[in-house]
Copies of this chain bind each other. A is one copy, B any other.
């Protein structure tokens, strides 16, 4: 860890490189334009959402050492929008004196879900109880720990490598690779806090948000900010977020998913060292967006005010089941006619079932009206082919 330094002089000629050119990179670029920052993107997909708006767009695998080294060679500051990157290359670039945030050793730690859990345990960060497992046999031997979630240590991106084991019968599907089993948390709510830290040591959190589940289907329906929680829980969540970024000694933006248990404890579930789906509503709902905050953190500028402007909800816009092909947006005009609805499309030409094609932020000073509008947007806007 380099010693703390004061804020960096503003210099818009610095070259910022981003590993990953998806929707998170796209919204980062929209914000970077305000600061006249050049944003250079590396992504394996030649049609990635950033391709038309990046200062330069390079196609190549993020997990390949030589590709990342070559991309980083002429950059001053390097960051990520996805964790699945070659950290050995990032460490080598860091050793060359480049500013790489989040720091590569933290990306590496977070890439491994088992190491992440062990870190919480070692540092007294509250998290669900877990037991390391080397293979399927070890998972199967944990029947007295049921119900639990079986997670792979690595390869667990985009919801893969995670499965719920409720009964002895479920044990048959145990993962046969290193990972762990985690006690199922009987939670009251799922919360998330985004926290930022710069090299100067400034730390700022966004208000806690809440993932709201469908009462019947038990799936996340939307995210709402701020969360409907007591002041005491809010303070607990905020202070936990600061504790995690401080104990990691991380520079950048960190999204922390949390469980609020039925007995009022707040546990860390998982973290992501980057901008995150749970912070999209900050673009319209807060004084500073998570994207601007990420830039401020990695550039070592002062962090922005995170106050809420209006209660806001975020709904993911997913490709409709049963449709694959060139995306068509049904019901968009009806959705745009509702006050306080903002649509963010990610520039993906092709839709497929459940593909994240965009999101809508819905804001309203009246929570009941806000909830009506959420339902309207979900029922009305359909992405088909």
Show the binding face of A for B, using Cβ within 8 Å: 7-10, 12, 26, 30, 33-36, 38, 52-53, 55, 284, 287-288, 292, 296, 301-302, 304-305, 307, 309-310, 329, 332-333, 336-337, 339-340, 342-347, 358, 363
Contacts and interface: CB of A to CB of B under 8 A. Distances in A.
Nearest to A292: B342
6 contacts: A7-B333, A12-B345, A36-B345, A36-B358, A287-B339, A287-B340
B287 A34 contact: no
A38 B343 CA distance: 16
A138 B342 CA distance: 54
Contact of A333 (B8, B34, B329): B8
Given A12-B329, A332-B10, A333-B7, A339 B305 contact: yes
A53 B33 contact: yes
A52 B52 contact: no
Copies in the complex: 2
A301 B329 CA distance: 13
Contacts of A34: 30, 342-345
A333 B304 CA distance: 11
Given A53-B53, A363-B287, A9 B333 contact: yes
Given A7-B337, A9-B332, 13 more contacts: A9-B333, A33-B53, A33-B347, A34-B342, A34-B345, A36-B346, A284-B287, A287-B340, A292-B342, A305-B340, A307-B339, A309-B309, A309-B310
Mostly, the A contact residues are loop
Contacts of A345: 12, 34-36
A302 B364 CA distance: 18
B8 A347 contact: no
Contacts of A347: 33, 36
B12 A337 contact: no
Pairs of residues from A and B, 9 with the lowest C-beta to C-beta distance, nearest first? A10-B332, A305-B339, A302-B337, A36-B345, A7-B333, A309-B309, A302-B336, A36-B347, A34-B344
Nearest to A33: B30
Contacts of A52: 38, 55
A26 B346 CA distance: 19
A363 B309 CA distance: 11
Contacts of A53: 33, 53
A281 to B, nearest CB: 14
B287 A10 contact: no
Nearest to A339: B305
A296 B52 CA distance: 22
A301 B333 contact: yes
- Which of A8, A38, A304, A336 has the most chain B CB atoms inside 10 A of its CB? A336
Contacts of A358: 36
A134 B355 CA distance: 65
A18 to B, nearest CB: 15
A126 to B, nearest CB: 31
A333 B8 CA distance: 8
A358 B309 CA distance: 24
Contacts of A287: 284, 339-340, 363
